[in-house]
C-alpha cells in the first residue's frame, strides 16, 4: 500500500512519500510523522488540563469545595495554561501541516526545523508546567503584573511561542513550495485558505506575545524595575485574545473540511467564503479590545471603534460561514439523494459518525452559545454588567470547549485512519463520545453564564465569603448554577476522558488501515467513495436550501432576542428618571 518514492525538490532536498489509498494524494512521510507527534502531544496535554478543569469545577461547587484556596489558584493556572495554550496550539500546528503538505500534495518545508519547533514547544510547555506545579507561579494564565511568577514560567511561555512561530513559517514555506512545484492549480483549497488565515493571525499573536512576555521575563529576573499594569494588559490581550482567533479560523477550516470529506460538500460560493476569511484576517484580532472596555485611560473612540465597527465586520465573516457551512451540507446531501421535505438532508446525515456529530455539534454550540454571548460581551454598554463575572468563562467554554475542542476531537476521528493509518477502536463507544462531551461542555458554558448573570465572580474560591469581615449573600439560584456546573464538568470530563482513551488505544492497538478498509475506517458516510471536495476549488452551484434558511432564521431570532434582553437588564440596573 505504501508506495515510497523520491521526488525532485527545489533546494535539492529529497522527500519520501506514500500514496494515500483513500485520496490518491502523495503523503510526505516527514509531514506525517510531525502531524502525529504534534497531535499526540496535544492530546496528552488535553488529558492533563481537562483533569485540572474538573478539579476547578468541583471546587467552585460550594457543596463539594474540593481544593484549598492555594491549590485552587495553582490548579486554575495549570488548567488555563494546558488547555488554552498547549492543547490547542499543538493541535493547530498539526492542522497547519495537514492543511499544507497533505492537502496540497507536496513535501513539508524544512522538516528538521519543524522538529526543532516541536522540541521548543515541548520544552516550553514542560518548563511552564513544572514551574506552576512547584506552587510559586499561581498567577493564572493571564499573569497580570504586578503578580510575579518565577522567570521560568515566562521563559516556558516564550520557548513555546517561538516553537509555534517556527511552525507557522514552515506552513508558509510549504505554501511556497507547493506553488513552485505546481502541486495545485489556481487557488489553494478553501480549507488551506482557512489554515492560512489561522497562521496569519498566529504571527500577529506571537509577535505581540514576544513584545510583552520578554520584558516581563526580564522584570521577573530583576533587570527591569517596573512594568505598567494597563500597558501590560493592552499588549497581553493582543496575544491572549488573538490566540482565540487562531482557534476560530482553524475550527472554521475544520467545519468546511469534515463535510467535504464525508459528504462531498463544496462551499456555496468559494468567493464569498474566502472574503469571509479575509474579514477575519483584517478585523478579527481587534476583538482583543473588549478586555479593555472597563479600563480608564483609553478613549471611547478606541474602545468603540475596535469593539463595534471593526469587530462587527469580523462577526459578519462568522455569519457568512454560519450560513455557508450548513448550506454546503444541505446542497451536498440533496445531491446525495436526500431531497424529501425540508430537513431530510439533516436527519439522514451520518449522526453515528463521531467526526460528523462532533463537527455539527461544535458548529451549532459555537454559534448559539459562544457567538451570541461573545457579541453581548463585546458591546461596551452591556459588558459592564458581566465583566469579570463567571459569564466570561461561560462564554469562552462555549467557544473553546464546545466549539474548538469538539471540532478538533471530530477531525481526529479522521486523522487516525488517514494519517496514523489505524481503525478507530470501539466504534460504538466512539459514536457516543461527542454527544457526552458536547452535553457536558454545553452545561459548563450555560451554567457558568447563568451564575455570571447573577453576579458571581470568576476566579473566586469561595462564594459564601465564609471568613470575610463583611458578608455577602448571593441568591440561592447562584449556588444551584454552580452545582449544575460541577455536574456538567463531570460529564465533560467523562466525555473528554473517553476521547483520550479511544484515540490512544486506536493509535496503539487499532487495526491497520490499507486500501481495502480505508473508506470504511472513516466511519459511516453517505458516499461510497472518498470525496475530493476538500482538496479542490469549486462551489456547490445551488441556492435551493430551504432547510438552511429556516435554521439561519432561528439563529437570528435567538440572537436578536437575547441581545435585547441584555439591554433590558441594563435598563433595570440603572433606573432613569
Partner 1 sequence: MAKAKTETAEAVESVRIPPMQRLLDNHFLLLFLGVVVPTVLYLLWGVMELSQIPIAE
* Residue 310 interface partner, choices partner 1, ligand HEM, none, CB cut-off 5-8 Å depending on type: partner 1
Among 215, 358, 370, 393, binds ligand HEM (CB under 6 A): 393
Told to check if 60 binds ligand HEM by CB under 6 A, we report: yes
Binding mask 263-302 for partner 1 (x = CB under 8 A): --------x--xx--x--xxx-xx-xx--x----xxx--x
Among 73, 160, 193, 368, binds partner 1 (CB under 8 A): 193
Q: Compute the distance between CA of residue 217 and CA of residue 219 in angstroms, rounded to an integer.
A: 5
Residue indicated by cell numbers 467523562 = 494
Question: Do the beta carbons of residue 452 and residue 392 sit within 8 Å?
Answer: yes
Question: Do the beta carbons of residue 163 and residue 119 sit within 8 Å?
Answer: yes
Told to check if 416 binds partner 1 by CB under 8 A, we report: no
CB nearer ligand HEM, residue 79 or residue 266: 79
Among 129, 405, 445, 566, binds ligand HEM (CB under 6 A): 405
Told to check if 282 binds ligand HEM by CB under 6 A, we report: no
Minimum distance of ligand HEM from residue 392's CB (angstroms):
8
Residue indicated by cell numbers 493571564 = 142
Told to check if 231 binds partner 1 by CB under 8 A, we report: yes
Question: Do the beta carbons of residue 132 and residue 77 sit within 8 Å?
Answer: yes
Among 129, 208, 421, 433, binds partner 1 (CB under 8 A): 208
Cα angle, residue 258 at apex, residues 107 and 52 outer, rounded to 5°: 90
Residue indicated by cell numbers 493541535 = 91
Told to check if 79 binds ligand HEM by CB under 6 A, we report: yes
Instruction: Report the candidate in 418, 311, 414, 331 with the shortest Cα–Cα distance to residue 371.
Output: 311
Told to check if 53 binds ligand HEM by CB under 6 A, we report: yes
Told to check if 387 binds partner 1 by CB under 8 A, we report: no
Instruction: Report the candidate in 442, 438, 449 with the shortest Cα–Cα distance to residue 481.
Output: 449
Residue indicated by cell numbers 458554558 = 445
Neighbour-count burial of 408, counting CB atoms closer than 10 A to its CB (0-12 exposed, 13-18 middle, 19+ buried):
buried
Told to check if 549 binds partner 1 by CB under 8 A, we report: no
CB nearer partner 1, residue 47 or residue 304: 304
Q: CA dist 59 to 9, 469, 486, Å?
A: 56, 22, 8
Residue indicated by cell numbers 448573570 = 453
Neighbour-count burial of 337, counting CB atoms closer than 10 A to its CB (0-12 exposed, 13-18 middle, 19+ buried):
exposed
Contact footprint for ligand HEM (CB under 6 A): 50, 53-54, 56-57, 60, 76, 79-80, 83-84, 88, 140-141, 393, 397, 400-401, 405, 444, 458-459, 489, 492-493, 496
Contact footprint for partner 1 (CB under 8 A): 172, 175, 187-188, 193, 196-197, 199-201, 203-204, 207-208, 228, 230-231, 234-235, 238, 242, 271, 274-275, 278, 281-283, 285-286, 288-289, 292, 297-299, 302, 305-306, 310
Amino acid at each position: 500500500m505504501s508506495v515510497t518514492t523520491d521526488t525532485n525538490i527545489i533546494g535539492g532536498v529529497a522527500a519520501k512519500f506514500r500514496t494515500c489509498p483513500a485520496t490518491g494524494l502523495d503523503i510526505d512521510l516527514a509531514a506525517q510523522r510531525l502531524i502525529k507527534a504534534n497531535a499526540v502531544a496535544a492530546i496528552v496535554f488535553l488529558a492533563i488540563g481537562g483533569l485540572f478543569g474538573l478539579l476547578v469545577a468541583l471546587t467552585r461547587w460550594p457543596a463539594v469545595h474540593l481544593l484549598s484556596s492555594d491549590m485552587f489558584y495553582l490548579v486554575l493556572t495549570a488548567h488555563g495554561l494546558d488547555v488554552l495554550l498547549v492543547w490547542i496550539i499543538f493541535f493547530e500546528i498539526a492542522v497547519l501541516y495537514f492543511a499544507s503538505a497533505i492537502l496540497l500534495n507536496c513535501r513539508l518545508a524544512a522538516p528538521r526545523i519543524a522538529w526543532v519547533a516541536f522540541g521548543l514547544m515541548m520544552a516550553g510547555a514542560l518548563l511552564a508546567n513544572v514551574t506552576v506545579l512547584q506552587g510559586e507561579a499561581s498567577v493564572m494564565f493571564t499573569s497580570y503584573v504586578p503578580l510575579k511568577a518565577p522567570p521560568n514560567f515566562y521563559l516556558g511561555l516564550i520557548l513555546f511561542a517561538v516553537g509555534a512561530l517556527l511552525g507557522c513559517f514552515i506552513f508558509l514555506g510549504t505554501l511556497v513550495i507547493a506553488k513552485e512545484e505546481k502541486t495545485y492549480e489556481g487557488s489553494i483549497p478553501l480549507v488551506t485558505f482557512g489554515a492560512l488565515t489561522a497562521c496569519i493571525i498566529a504571527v500577529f499573536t506571537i509577535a505581540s506575545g514576544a513584545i510583552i512576555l520578554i520584558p516581563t521575563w526580564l522584570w521577573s529576573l530583576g533587570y527591569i524595575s517596573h512594568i505598567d499594569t494597563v500597558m501590560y494588559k493592552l499588549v497581553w490581550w493582543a496575544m491572549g485574545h488573538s490566540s482565540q482567533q487562531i482557534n476560530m479560523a482553524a475550527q472554521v477550516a475544520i467545519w468546511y473540511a469534515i463535510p467535504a470529506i464525508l459528504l462531498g460538500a463544496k462551499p456555496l460560493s468559494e468567493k464569498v467564503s474566502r472574503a469571509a476569511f479575509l474579514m477575519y484576517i483584517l478585523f478579527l484580532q481587534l476583538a482583543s479590545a473588549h478586555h479593555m472596555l472597563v479600563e480608564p485611560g483609553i478613549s471611547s473612540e478606541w474602545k468603540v471603534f475596535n469593539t463595534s465597527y471593526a469587530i462587527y465586520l469580523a462577526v459578519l465573516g462568522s455569519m457568512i460561514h454560519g450560513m455557508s457551512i450548513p448550506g454546503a451540507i444541505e446542497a451536498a446531501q440533496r445531491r446525495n439523494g436526500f431531497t424529501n421535505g425540508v430537513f431530510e438532508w439533516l436527519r439522514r446525515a451520518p449522526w453515528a459518525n463521531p467526526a460528523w456529530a462532533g463537527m455539527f455539534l461544535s458548529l451549532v454550540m459555537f454559534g448559539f452559545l459562544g457567538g451570541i454571548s461573545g457579541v453581548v460581551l463585546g458591546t461596551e454598554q452591556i459588558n459592564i454588567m458581566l465583566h469579570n463575572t463567571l459569564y466570561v468563562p461561560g462564554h469562552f467554554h462555549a467557544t473553546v470547549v464546545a466549539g474548538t475542542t469538539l471540532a478538533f476531537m471530530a477531525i481526529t476521528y479522521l486523522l487516525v485512519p488517514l494519517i496514523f493509518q489505524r481503525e478507530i477502536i470501539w466504534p460504538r463507544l466512539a459514536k457516543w463520545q461527542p454527544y457526552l462531551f458536547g452535553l457536558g461542555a454545553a452545561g459548563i458554558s450555560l451554567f457558568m453564564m447563568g451564575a455570571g448573570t447573577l453576579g458571581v465572580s470568576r476566579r473566586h474560591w469561595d462564594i459564601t465569603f465564609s471568613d470575610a469581615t463583611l458578608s455577602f449573600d448571593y441568591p440561592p439560584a447562584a449556588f444551584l448554577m454552580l452545582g449544575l456546573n460541577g455536574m456538567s464538568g463531570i460529564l465533560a470530563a467523562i466525555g473528554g476522558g473517553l476521547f483520550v482513551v479511544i484515540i490512544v488505544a486506536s493509535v496503539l492497538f487499532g487495526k491497520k488501515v490499507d486500501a481495502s478498509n480505508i473508506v470504511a475506517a472513516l466511519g459511516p458516510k453517505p458516499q461510497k467513495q472518498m470525496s475530493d471536495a476538500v482538496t479542490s476549488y469549486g462551489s456547490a452551484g445551488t441556492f435551493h436550501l430551504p432547510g438552511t434558511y429556516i435554521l439561519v432564521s432561528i439563529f437570528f431570532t435567538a440572537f436578536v432576542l437575547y441581545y435585547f434582553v441584555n439591554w433590558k437588564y441594563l435598563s433595570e440596573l440603572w433606573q432613569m428618571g
